[in-house]
Amino acid sequence: MISLRTRKNRLVGKWEVKTGSAYSKFGSWSTSEETFIYTSSSYQKITEIQGGGAQVGPSGITNGSFSYTLEFKKDGDFNSTQITDGYISTLKGTWNFTAGVGKEKNNDKIVINIDSWTNQPSVLTI
């Protein structure tokens, strides 16, 4: 594909996440594993809690509402907003392209540096 627009102009703007998935695992002896599946304006969370090889806690499936937007500004600023069941998580920072090397020299990649993270309605700000 050939584009007459620069790589920056192809990235700059507001992006809305439509589908995706995420996986997280917490703990060492007792673990909690969560798999999130995002589609359009909803999510499904599958939770498994295990300890010492045996299931020790509640496992289950949770469904809810979800939206996620990312905004890349031309001046290098970055913002993202995730709304999950009414809870709002906001990230602010900067972005820039990395220089490709080796096998990746022809691929455009970006680095996002997070300067602040805010959760609402809780009062957690980092």
Q: Is the pTM of this model over 0.85?
A: no
The full set of domain ranges for the chain reads 7-125
- Residue 95, pLDDT score: 94
Query: What are the pLDDT tens digits along the chain (126 aa)?
Result: 677 788 888 889 999 999 988 888 877 666 778 888 988 899 998 888 776 655 555 678 889 999 999 999 999 999 999 998 889 999 999 999 887 667 766 677 889 999 999 988 765 555
- Residue 42, pLDDT score: 92
- Residue 10 has φ and ψ, to the nearest 5°, of -75, -25
The DSSP code sequence of 15-30 is: EE--EEEEEEEE-SSE
| CA 33 to each of CA 19, 22, 48, 54: distance values in angstroms, whole numbers, following the listed order | 20, 11, 5, 13
